[in-house]
Structure formats: C-alpha cells, structure tokens
Amino acid sequence: MAQTNKGRRFFICETPKATDLNQAAYEALTWVEVLNVGSVGETGKNTNVLSYDELDTDVTQKQKGISNAGDPQVECARNPTDTGQIALRAAAATKYFYAFKVEDEDKPSADYTNSIYYNRGLITGPVRPGGRNEDFILEVFTLGLVQAEIVVAPASQVATTNTVLPAISGAPAQTGVVLTAYDGVWTGEPTLTYQWQSDTEGNDTFADISGATSATFTPVVGNVGDALRLEVTGVNGEGTPVVVVSLPTQLQIAA
C-alpha cells in the first residue's frame, strides 16, 4: 500500500565518516534524531545522460555519465535546545562527511520494520528564510551527498522457523537427471540458501558438494553410490539463521 511522508523521521550520526559505508556499518552507528523537521529534500542517484552526434548520425547516441548522489535540503522549525538540531549545526560548521538516516512510517503490518534510507556527505547551513509574523522560524540545511543511497525495504520482525522440512523432487536419483529442491514451509519470510550434500561412505556422514548451492542439482558419475540430501538455510534478519536438512534420497545414485 502506498504511503505519505507523514511520520517520516530524520537522523544524523555525530561522528564523521570519511569512507563509504555498507548497510551493516550504517546499522551499527549511533544515531541522533533531529526533531521539528518539516521536509527532507530529494535523495537518490541522478546520472548525467551524455549525447554525441556524428556526421552521419540519424538518432543521437546516448550513454550514462557521472552520477550525483544528491543535494537534498532539510528544513526544520528552529529549536535551540534539540540535540539533533544542535548536531546538525555543529556538523555544518565543519568540512567533514557525516552519515544520515531517514525512516519512513510505512511498515505493512506491526510485524515489519519501516523503510530506511542511508546517506553520507557534507552538510552546509543553516539558511534562515525569515518570514512574516505568523511564519515559523525556520532553518534550512543542505546535504552534499557523496555516496550512493542505500535503501532498506520493510522486513519481517518475526524470527524465521521451519515447520515442514525441505525435500528433494526427482527421486529416485539418477545420473544426468535434474533434482529440484522443495523449500519446505517457513515462517518470517526468510531468504533461503541451498547446499546439496552427499554421503560418500554410506555411514550417514554427509559433506557439502562443492559448488552445489542452487535450487537444482544434477548428479554426475562421481556421485554413483552416494546418498544425497539437501540442506536449506533460512534467514530474515531476526535471530540466528535456521538450518534444516531433507531426508536423504531413498535410492542411491544409479549409473
């Protein structure tokens, strides 16, 4: 469901960040919320479109050029005692790069997080627009962003569990015949990864098959005599990954 900007929140990390950050690094930062924010300007990558015409050009050639991560403005109703606004003013007085976070109020249900937008860059200002007697006293800061924005979509906060084990479709297994993973049944909408395993000794000691990490696996002659099973790992950001295995193939690989 589409949402409005109502409830959107803006944060700054008071410690300068000189190099690019990934999502995990952003999530580990300590954030200070800036209160009394009226608007946050346009963010996201804007890429120059280059064009070139040759003497025999019929349709102009085009290619992507340099990208600008954005220069959004953050407008606040001035609050001299708000710790977030104080942090903005202090950062604006330096030439360093800082990390910023915007959080929407758009979770699809109570079991989900909101959308998060991470950015990093310079900050300038404040500019005070002034106004008439019924206008709020405003301060406007400009963020000169230097890193591509990282967008984190709403995610389930329900720890993932497996309620029905995965299985192997395509048994009895034979060389050259594709086996397909049945994921099983999971809660928490996890991301699933696969690992096919074989028991080469016939003693229920399974080991990973190198490179066999997709939802399908085609046995080869080297698997003859082995029992096969599928290991599935589910993770959704809540709790630790859950690892489960299918029952082994009922028949060993037939040449």
Q: What is the pLDDT of residue 176?
A: 80
Per-residue pLDDT band at 171 (split at 50, 70, 90): low
- Write down the pLDDT at residue 250: 56
What is the chain's mean pLDDT, rounded?
A: 91
In this prediction, residue 252 carries a pLDDT of: 59
Q: Kindly indicate the confidence band of residue 115, based on its pLDDT and cuts at 50, 70 and 90.
A: very high
Q: Is the pLDDT of residue 131 over 70?
A: yes
pLDDT at 219 over 90: no
Provide the pLDDT for residue 97: 98
Q: At 233, list the tokens.
A: 């790992």
Q: Average of pLDDT values for 13-18?
A: 97
Q: Which residue in this structure is represented by tokens 């479709």?
A: 169
C-alpha 215, offset from chain centre: 23
What digits encode the pLDDT tens for the residues 22-62?
999 999 999 999 999 999 999 999 999 999 999 999 999 99
The pTM for the full model equals 0.70
Domain ranges of the chain: 9-152, 161-245
The least confident of 66-75, 98-107, 121-130, 241-250 is 241-250
- Residue 143 is predicted with a pLDDT of 98
The Cα 100–Cα 126 span in angstroms is 16
Across the range 142-151, mean pLDDT stands at 97
User: Does the fold of domain 161-245 match that of domain 9-152?
Assistant: no
Which has the closest alpha carbon to 91: 40, 32, 27? 32
Does position 255 have pLDDT exceeding 60, yes or no? Answer: no
- Average pLDDT of the residues in 122-135: 94
Just give the CATH number of 161-245: 2.60.40.2700
Evaluate if residue 189 carries a pLDDT over 90: no
Please give the average per-residue pLDDT across 121-142, as a whole number.
95
Q: Kindly state the tokens that stand for 152.
A: 């984190």
> From start to end of the chain, where are the E strands?
9-12, 32-34, 37-40, 46-52, 61-68, 73-77, 98-103, 116-127, 138-145, 150-152, 161-164, 167-169, 179-182, 185-187, 191-199, 207-208, 216-217, 227-235, 242-245
Residue 254 has pLDDT above 70, yes or no: no
Q: Which residue has the higher pLDDT, 170 or 22?
A: 22
Q: Percent of the chain scored above 90 by pLDDT?
A: 72
Q: Does domain 9-152 have CATH number 4.10.410?
A: yes
